[in-house]
């Protein structure tokens, strides 16, 4: 997920959590449960990105409540990242415009390269046609 | 044609007899007998050749049409055939590229690296440097894989497809068979074969995957060499590595199998949920582990696709599965086109809850294959029509689990899927139009909570 994307629900929730730093005890408890791994369940916020830490491997249960706790933990981490960016410690936040521009340029470069690949393929077919139409002594 | 027809009829009869034997002529029931009978059908299709292998491969992603056990068994269909002689392959290359392999490449190996019924692969080296669409320039001398469609394959496939149409037309006189619309399945086979025979389609899929995974150092997609790629010839960089079945050697060489299993499962989910296109033909020959610890995807001949709406529903279903949430699973299933009869919804929901607990919640590691088979059997028992996309999803998830388990037998794919699925779900739910639609209800709920 791209950091700082205004359309990102997690970012929106993180911003809300930051503004309301006095988040209530219920919220904090949900974050703690999500960070530790849901009661029985693994959560997206429960472990490392590869899901290898947190609750006991393979344990799943808890339904919607477990999912909400895990999301709460994700939002908490997003909030900390947002705090860091606002504190000016995240240099990438300042160069966000540049990053977008680079991505657009890279996408365009790929489009061109893909067209070039197709043209080369057509050229190979034309070469083959030419070779077949040209008598051997001329070739 | 008549000779081929007789050969097909003989093989079909032999296979039918074997299936009847495995089932004890109708007296033997149960999972073991079903699996044994399904294995016989798979072997029969492999004996019948490429068009029938293709038919089986398509049926394997249609558990809505064939019994669940058979659909899963057909997923293991392979076609391994003797290679065409070198002169015939050289002639195809010369016809397609206008020059003999020796003139096009710095070196060319007449001994094939692999041979399937549609194409075979030869190793060669580039004569000149090449700049691929994704990745660094390939210097002269780079080892490449040259995939060549075998001569005569197109005509043989067309003959088999025509025969298959005749057979299904006859079979469709039986009402039970007509209900399955077998002619539509053969038409799918015809279209799929046409796509596979045009290697430029595979080249484009390969480029797309290479770009998608360009920033993932643990995934390798071979680079396409456009100037030597045509309808019948595809040239890509050569990948050296171990098949999943030879992983003992990889581990002895220091490859982190567990890390790769987890990463591979996540990469597959990203294909399904983010790219909207996924490698639909994963088997040991198409997935290698490289000496530098990467997963290499080969052969993009069969690629599945998902729409944006399907991706959202799939993410919901994955989250539901990972968190043991039967209500969410049923809601997401409905969004994927599963029409549950209102009077049967409660018992089906209870049964899904039971399956979630038996195979996922109370099992370590989770057993996705058992869960998927259980759901499909439940729906078939309850006579709930299974949408094709839904069957494909369940099959894909089981494939992910199978591949990861080949790397590490006790890896938990459900647990691995949770972070990727919930990331995609949150991103989907945060689309402005979704937020606008859900905002009033969310505010009402928040106010209710505050005032409670």
Cα separation values, A124 from A128, B88, B93, B234, Å: 6, 20, 11, 12
Told to judge if B246 belongs to the known catalytic residues of this protein, a careful annotator would answer no
Extract the tokens encoding B133: 């669409």
Res. A99 pLDDT band, cuts 50 70 90: low
Interface contact flag, B230 A128, Cβ < 8 Å: yes
| From B69, B160, B281, B299, the catalytic residue | B281
Q: For residue A110, how far is the Cα from the chain centroid?
A: 20
* pLDDT mean for each 10 residues of chain B (452 residues): 72 78 70 80 83 77 75 76 90 94 96 89 97 94 96 87 83 72 80 88 94 93 96 96 76 80 86 86 81 90 82 84 83 86 88 88 83 86 79 76 80 78 75 74 75 70
Give the pTM.
Answer: 0.75
Q: Which residue of chain A is at minimal alpha-carbon distance from B414?
A: A58
Between A88 and B325, residue with greater pLDDT = B325
User: Average per-residue pLDDT in chain A?
Assistant: 68
Which among B266, B319, B431 has the least Cβ separation from residue A67?
Answer: B319
Q: Which residue of chain B is at minimal alpha-carbon distance from A128?
A: B98
Q: Which residues of A touch B97 (CB under 8 A)?
A: 124, 127-128
Q: Which of A60, A80, A79, A95 is nearest to B361 (CA)?
A: A60
Instruction: Return the beta strands (E) in B238-302 as ranges.
Output: 242-243, 277-279, 287-289, 295-297
Distance between CA atoms of residues B216 and B416, nearest Å:
17
Q: Which of B268, B266, B286 is nearest to B278 (CA)?
A: B268
Distance between CA atoms of residues B55 and B377, nearest Å:
22
pLDDT of residue A49: 36
Q: Which residues of A touch B430 (CB under 8 A)?
A: 7-10, 12
Between B343 and A65, residue with greater pLDDT = B343
Q: What's the gap in Å between the CA of A128 and the closest CA on chain B?
A: 3
Residues 6+ apart with CB under 8 A from B144: B105, B123, B124, B125, B126, B225, B228, B235, B236, B237, B238
Whether residue A100 has pLDDT greater than 50 = yes
Q: What's the gap in Å between the CA of A25 and the closest CA on chain B?
A: 14
Q: Which of B117, B110, B103 is nearest to B88 (CA)?
A: B110
Q: What's the gap in Å between the CA of A7 and the closest CA on chain B?
A: 6
Between A117 and B1, residue with greater pLDDT = A117
Res. A61 pLDDT band, cuts 50 70 90: low
pLDDT of residue B226: 94
Residues 6+ apart with CB under 8 A from B145: B113, B121, B122, B123, B222, B235, B236, B237, B238, B239
pLDDT of residue A94: 55
Interface contact flag, A64 B200, Cβ < 8 Å: no
pLDDT of residue B151: 92
Q: Which residue of chain A is at minimal alpha-carbon distance from B135?
A: A110
Q: What's the gap in Å between the CA of B172 and the closest CA on chain A?
A: 43
Which among A49, A60, A117 has the least Cβ separation from residue B133?
Answer: A117
Count interface pairs A-B at CB distance under 8 A: 163
CA atoms within 13 Å, Cβ hemisphere of B119: 22
Q: Which residue of chain B is at minimal alpha-carbon distance from A54?
A: B415
Q: Which helix (H) or strand (E) holds B122?
A: strand B119-126
Res. A44 pLDDT band, cuts 50 70 90: very low
Extract the tokens encoding A93: 């936040």
Interface contact flag, B262 A51, Cβ < 8 Å: yes
Res. A98 pLDDT band, cuts 50 70 90: low
């Amino acid at each position: 997920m791209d950091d700082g994307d205004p359309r990102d629900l997690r970012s929106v929730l993180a911003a809300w959590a930051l503004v309301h730093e006095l988040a209530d005890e219920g919220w904090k408890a949900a974050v703690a449960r999500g960070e530790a791994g849901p009661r029985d369940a693994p959560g997206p916020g429960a472990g490392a990105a590869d899901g290898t830490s947190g609750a006991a491997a393979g344990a799943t249960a808890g339904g919607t409540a477990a999912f909400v706790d895990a999301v709460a933990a994700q939002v908490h981490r997003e909030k900390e990242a947002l705090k860091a960016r606002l504190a000016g410690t995240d240099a990438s936040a300042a160069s966000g415009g540049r990053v977008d521009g680079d991505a657009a340029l890279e996408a365009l470069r790929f489009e061109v390269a893909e067209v070039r690949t197709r043209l080369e393929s057509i050229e190979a077919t034309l070469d083959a046609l030419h070779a077949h139409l040209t008598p051997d002594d001329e070739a | 044609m008549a000779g081929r027809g007789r050969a097909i009829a003989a093989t079909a009869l032999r296979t039918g007899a074997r299936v009847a034997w495995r089932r004890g002529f109708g007296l033997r029931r149960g999972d073991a007998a079903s699996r044994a009978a399904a294995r016989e059908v798979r072997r029969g299709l492999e004996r019948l050749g490429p068009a029938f292998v293709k038919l089986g491969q398509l049926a394997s992603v249609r558990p809505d049409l064939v019994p669940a056990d058979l659909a899963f068994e057909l997923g293991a269909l392979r076609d391994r055939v003797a290679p065409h002689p070198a002169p015939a392959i050289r002639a195809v290359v010369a016809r397609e590229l206008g020059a003999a392999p020796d003139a096009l490449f710095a070196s060319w190996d007449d001994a094939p690296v692999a041979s399937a019924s549609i194409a075979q692969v030869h190793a060669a080296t580039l004569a000149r440097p090449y700049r691929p669409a994704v990745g660094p320039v390939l210097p002269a001398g780079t080892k490449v894989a040259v995939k060549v469609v075998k001569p005569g394959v197109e005509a043989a496939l067309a003959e088999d497809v025509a025969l298959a149409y005749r057979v299904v037309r006859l079979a469709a006189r039986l009402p039970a068979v007509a209900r399955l619309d077998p002619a539509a399945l053969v038409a799918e086979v015809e279209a799929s074969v046409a796509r596979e025979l045009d290697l430029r389609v595979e080249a484009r899929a390969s480029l797309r995957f290479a770009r998608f995974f360009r920033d993932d150092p643990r995934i390798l997609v071979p680079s396409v060499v456009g100037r030597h790629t045509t309808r019948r010839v595809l040239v890509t960089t050569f990948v050296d590595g171990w098949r999943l079945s030879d992983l003992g050697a990889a581990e002895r060489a220091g490859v982190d199998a567990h890390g790769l299993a987890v990463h591979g499962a996540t990469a597959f989910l990203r294909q399904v949920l983010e790219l909207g296109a996924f490698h639909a033909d994963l088997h040991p020959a198409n997935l290698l582990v490289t000496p530098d610890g990467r997963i290499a995807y080969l052969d993009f001949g069969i690629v599945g696709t998902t729409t944006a709406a399907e991706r959202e529903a799939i993410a919901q279903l994955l989250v539901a599965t990972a968190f043991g949430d039967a209500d969410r699973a049923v809601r997401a299933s409905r969004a994927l086109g599963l029409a549950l009869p209102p009077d049967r919804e409660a018992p089906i929901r209870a049964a899904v809850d039971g399956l979630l607990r038996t195979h996922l919640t109370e099992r370590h590691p989770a057993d996705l294959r058992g869960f998927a088979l259980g759901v499909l059997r439940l729906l078939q028992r309850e006579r709930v029509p299974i949408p094709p996309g839904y069957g494909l999803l369940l099959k894909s998830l089981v494939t992910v689990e199978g591949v990861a388990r080949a790397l590490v037998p006790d890896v938990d794919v459900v647990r691995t899927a949770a972070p990727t699925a919930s990331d995609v779900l949150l991103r989907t739910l945060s689309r402005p139009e979704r937020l606008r639609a859900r905002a009033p209800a969310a505010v009402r709920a928040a106010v209710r909570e505050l005032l409670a």
